[in-house]
Amino acid sequence: MTITLSSVISIIQKLIDVSLVWLIFYYILKNIRNNVKLTLLFKGVAIVILLKLVSDWFGFVTIGLLLEYVIMWGPLALIIIFQPEIRSILEQLGRSQLLGRHKVLTVDERERLVYEIVQAMDYLRKTRIGALIVIERDVSLNNYIEKAKKLYADLSSELLISIFFPKNPLHDGGVIIQGDRITCAGAVFPTSNNAKANRRLGTRHRAALGIAEESDAIALVVSEETGRISIAVKGELFYNLSLDDVRMMLIDELRPKQDSDFEDEIDEEEIYEENN
């Protein structure tokens, strides 16, 4: 069998074609994972398909017929019912950064970032000044940055405190941090409609939970009424945290994935050595 130039080109084209399809699926699944509502929707669809396969296997005619109607008309119903969530994932695909964060922070830069934020949170909680600080990660927040007041300033606890000072015109909105810089202030985020969320939560807490549901950002909140600190991340709200809790969560969440995997491998090796 002779290999011609046209056959080589054909093979390369097929490889590129398959790679692009897998790349598209990867980014779709990645954004579904970062959106709590779409994750639940994806699980629901998977359960319906699984039930259909089980009903066909055991010969359940009635339930199989009902599931056929669900599968037939389900996509149309999902588009109508979950239109905001579907639009959200399409927007996230457009905003996602192919190369991850704007800037990969060094260990010293991450430590300084955490130190400055914790210092600011400590002052804000003691003086009962409300605040909302959002740290961008892999999913871009440029859609919210465009509508906010641009700063592009070096991060410092003093600047964060001054932004949220009650007489500052920008204190009602949120601050977005990209890398180790404050990109904007006065940002407005979508509020969460999560039924499980405490009804007593204020607008800042619901906005923090909302952006954590729609992206992989880390949202820190200081309550104006109680001075309590909360963190919303991965669609969950961790309420009334201590400064040590905040520091540890930030260090853990901001650590690059490869570093986390490496540390997990070291821990496993240490456990193995101890057991042997």
Taken in order of first residue, the domains within the chain and their CATH numbers are: 5-95 (no CATH), 107-258 (3.40.1700.10)
In DSSP terms, 187 is beta-bridged to 174
Side-chain-side CA neighbours of residue 160 (13 Å): 34
In DSSP terms, 132 is beta-bridged to 221
Report the amino acid identity of residue 261: D
Instruction: Give the pair of three-digit tokens for residue 18.
Output: 């398959």
pLDDT of residue 38: 64
Please state the length of the chain.
276
Task: Spell out the residues 6+ positions from residue 185 whose beta carbon is closer than 8 angstroms to its own.
Answer: 148, 149, 151, 163, 170, 173, 174, 175, 176
DSSP, collapsed to helix, strand or coil, labels residue 141 as: coil
Provide the 10 A C-beta neighbour count for residue 114.
18
End-to-end CA distance of the chain: 55
> Residue 150's closest CA among 119, 116, 173, 117?
173
C-alpha to C-alpha distance for 228 and 222, rounded to whole angstroms = 6
Helices 61-81 & 36-58, crossing angle to 10 degrees? Answer: 160
Which own/partner pairs from 199-202 qualify as long-range (CB within 8 Å, at least 24 positions apart)?
A: 201/237, 202/130
C-alpha to C-alpha distance for 133 and 187, rounded to whole angstroms = 10
Name the stretches of the chain with pLDDT < 70: 1-3, 28, 30-38, 81-82, 84-103, 195-199, 257-276
pLDDT of residue 50: 86
pLDDT of residue 134: 96
What does the pLDDT look like over 130-188, one tens digit per residue? Answer: 999 999 988 888 889 988 999 989 999 999 999 999 888 888 889 999 988 999 999 99
Task: Spell out the residues 6+ positions from residue 68 whose beta carbon is closer than 8 angstroms to its own.
Answer: 52
Tell me, rounded to whole angstroms, the distance of Cα 234 from its chain centroid.
5
DSSP, collapsed to helix, strand or coil, labels residue 133 as: strand
Taking CA atoms, 270 is separated from 137, 239, 252, 261, in Å, by 31, 33, 20, 14
Instruction: Give the pair of three-digit tokens for residue 60.
Output: 């359940």
One DSSP character per residue, 234-261 reads TTEEEEEE-HHHHHHHHHHHHS-HHHHH
C-alpha to C-alpha distance for 53 and 63, rounded to whole angstroms = 11
C-alpha to C-alpha distance for 112 and 50, rounded to whole angstroms = 49
